[in-house]
Amino acid sequence: MTENPLPQVEFVVRTIAQTAVANEKYFGDLDAVVGDGDFGYSLARGFEIVLSDWDTFDRTDAATFLRKVAVVITSRIGGTSGPLWGTAFLRAATVAAGKTAIDGETVVAMLRAAIEGIQARGSASLGDKTLLDALAPATDEIARQVGLGSDGPTTVRAAAAVARASADETAKLEARRGRASYTGERSIGSVDPGAVAVAVIFEALADAWPAAS
């Protein structure tokens, strides 16, 4: 996608962080329906630190930068979100290591590694009503767009649409992970806040991507 991957990686991480902070109440309200309501707060507090420490991160290369962000996320985001999101960034960094350029196929590989990390760390699978139920379909759509030769803005916008539709579909699922799983069938009818967060982040990336390209 770019000959110097760091600026684009920085753009994505900053957008994720800003979106998490801006949607603290929205994500928290979604989580309060059947969860403990702290998802929005925890995510916002962690990514606030990412933003406040932004200039201190080692930018030797994209992988090093992502690893530093992962450390902050893992250590400063409360509950289960910190380890899950931190693992995602760390696994993505592993794929980016040694890359002097990041093309579409590498982006897909980074996202798939992040998904595998989340699955392993959270013992979660597709259909368990987690962020995976939006992230995995969005990643599949990115892979499809890359195969079609689509440009960056088109690819991200298509992924955002799939993420939103997939997040909406989680209302039909029964939660099998996290605090919401304690409510059993009562979790059916409400969307998963993590999946919605993924959709909102992709939408924010899609809105800003043309300016960053």
Residue pair 101/2 in contact by the 8 Å Cβ criterion: yes
Look at domain 5-212 and name its CATH class. mainly alpha
SS3 state at 102: strand
Helix, strand, coil shares of the chain, percent, nearest 5, are 75, 0, 25
pLDDT band at 178 (very low <50, low <70, confident <90, very high): low
pLDDT in tens, 92-144: 999 999 988 899 999 999 999 999 999 998 888 888 888 999 999 999 999 99
Global pTM reads: 0.91
CA distances from 33 to 41, 60, 183 (A): 15, 43, 10
CA distances from 40 to 15, 60, 74, 113 (A): 16, 31, 16, 24
- Between 187 and 169, where is the model more confident? 169
Percentage of the chain exceeding pLDDT 90:
70
pLDDT in tens, 57-81: 999 999 999 999 999 999 888 777 8
- Between 77 and 26, where is the model more confident? 26
Which helix or strand (DSSP H or E) is residue 1 part of? Answer: none
